[in-house]
């Protein structure tokens, strides 16, 4: 079996792609899997770190403002499609998977024009531009949220959820409290702004440190690399009260297990992890993303009473007011947890690979 997986640009595209590849390899250890990404983007380092070969295309997206770069866009696309076509003719895949991002467009175009089966995986509740444009060319579209018929042909869609690490929900609270040095009789707030951090969450959290200390609330504050030196200084006077600034959290299973409330951006994978772990959350969507899709991700939970939403603009004033009110309401915490759990798709990765294998010739799926 030979498979090409294309796309990237952000962790929200890369991690699902790697999860799909891992599940294919678990079932078919002999499978040959080639990734195709965009030169200069994070997939060019993250994918090899996961143990897979990747080839880069010289492709970028359209600028959302008037830019001379946009004049070169059609030329870059044509060149990328030609290179993708040569890759496909040389590698001869049985199927192609697109996970969104710049690089998936030329690969899917080249593959579908040659009659190779193709599948798209859409992580967000508001479909990305590439996936919307290519939906009619592919055989299957795996989506993470109900109601995606407004973007894609209903007959091609399968509701699968997002591929996330299922072990993220396996952490035990006792081990988590010991790992982070937390007291068992005091509540814990976990703040996660993604691997790069989130300025608004960091500023609001720094301002709330005295209130957290006075209320006896413990804090695990994932700051991101760029913000860590300043946050570390801000948190240092409160260290004896278990208010911890952390550059990066490697044991997210234990961080979730320790948390009573999670404050987070609303990226697709973060939202999926919150549902899988069933954690009560306050979502602060990033305003700096295409089509404001993080707000739409957050609303998918809020409308089912599975999370709270505070806008980025409101966060400096409202965020920790909401957190303290939520921590004081056990019934509300339980309700949010229960409803979030009901939105989880723990078998997302296996379901996507099931769909992928049905596209490949039956002898390959034996």
> In which order are the strands placed within the sheet that holds 118-122?
53-57, 32-38, 2-6, 95-98, 118-122, 140-143, 157-159
Is 161 annotated to bind ligand? no
Give me the torsion for CA of 295, 301, 305, 309, rounded to 10°. -30
List C-alpha distances in Å: 109 to 26, 130, 235, 265, 357.
Answer: 28, 11, 50, 32, 20
Is 270 annotated to bind ligand? yes
Is 203 annotated to bind ligand? no
Is 97 annotated to bind ligand? no
Is 136 annotated to bind ligand? no
Query: In this structure, how many other beta carbons lie within 10 angstroms of the beta carbon of residue 142?
Result: 28
Q: Could you give the angle at the alpha carbon of 47 between the alpha carbons of 43 and 51, nearest 5°?
A: 170
Name the residue among 284, 356, 364 with its Cα closest to residue 118: 356
Is 294 annotated to bind ligand? yes
User: 358: which 2 tokens?
Assistant: 């049905």
List C-alpha distances in Å: 204 to 83, 111, 264, 317.
Answer: 46, 47, 12, 8
Query: In this structure, how many other beta carbons lie within 10 angstroms of the beta carbon of residue 89?
Result: 10
Is 12 annotated to bind ligand? yes
Is 208 annotated to bind ligand? no
Is 165 annotated to bind ligand? yes
Is 269 annotated to bind ligand? yes
Cα torsion angle, 304, 307, 310, 311, sign: negative
Is 349 annotated to bind ligand? no
| Helix runs in the chain, H state only | 11-27, 43-49, 69-91, 104-113, 129-134, 173-180, 199-215, 228-235, 252-258, 268-277, 293-302, 315-327, 330-342, 348-359
Q: Please provide the DSSP assignment of 258-309 as one string.
A: H-SEEEE---HHHHHHHHHHT--EEE---SSSGGGHHHHHHHHHHTTTS-EE
Residue list, annotated binding site:
10-12, 124, 165, 195, 268-273, 294
Residue list, annotated binding site for UDP-N-acetyl-alpha-D-glucosamine:
10-12, 124, 165, 195, 268-273, 294
């Amino acid at each position: 079996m030979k498979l090409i997986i294309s796309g990237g640009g952000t962790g929200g595209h890369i991690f699902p792609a790697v999860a799909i590849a891992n599940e294919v390899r678990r079932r078919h250890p002999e499978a040959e899997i080639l990734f195709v990404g965009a030169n200069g983007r994070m997939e060019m380092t993250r994918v090899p770190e996961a143990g897979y070969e990747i080839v880069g295309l010289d492709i970028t997206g359209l600028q959302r403002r008037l830019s001379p770069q946009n004049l070169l866009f059609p030329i870059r696309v044509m060149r990328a499609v030609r290179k993708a076509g040569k890759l496909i003719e040389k590698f001869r895949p049985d199927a192609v998977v697109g996970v969104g991002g710049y690089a998936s467009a030329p690969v899917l175009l080249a593959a579908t024009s040659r009659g190779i089966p193709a599948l798209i995986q859409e992580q967000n509740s508001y479909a990305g531009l590439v996936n919307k444009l290519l939906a009619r060319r592919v055989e299957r579209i795996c989506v993470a949220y109900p109601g995606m018929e407004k973007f894609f042909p209903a007959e091609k869609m399968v509701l699968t959820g997002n591929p996330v690490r299922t072990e993220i929900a396996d952490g035990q609270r006792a081990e988590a409290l010991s790992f982070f040095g937390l007291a068992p009789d005091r509540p814990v707030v976990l703040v996660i702004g993604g691997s790069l951090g989130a300025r608004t969450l960091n500023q609001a959290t720094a301002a709330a440190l005295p209130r957290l200390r006075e209320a006896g609330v413990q804090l695990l504050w994932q700051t991101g690399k760029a913000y860590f030196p300043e946050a570390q200084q801000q948190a240092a006077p409160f260290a004896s009260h278990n208010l911890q600034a952390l550059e990066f959290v490697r044991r997210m299973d234990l961080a979730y297990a320790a948390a009573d409330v999670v404050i987070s951006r609303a990226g697709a994978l973060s939202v999926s992890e919150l549902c899988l772990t069933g954690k009560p959350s306050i979502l602060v969507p990033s305003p700096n993303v295409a089509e404001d899709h993080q707000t739409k991700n957050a609303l998918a939970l809020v409308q089912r009473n599975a999370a709270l939403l505070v806008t980025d603009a409101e966060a400096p004033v409202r965020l920790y007011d909401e957190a303290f009110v939520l921590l004081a309401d056990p019934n509300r915490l339980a309700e949010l947890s229960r409803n979030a759990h009901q939105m989880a798709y723990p078998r997302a990765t296996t379901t996507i690979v099931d769909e992928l294998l049905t596209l490949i010739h039956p002898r390959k799926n034996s």
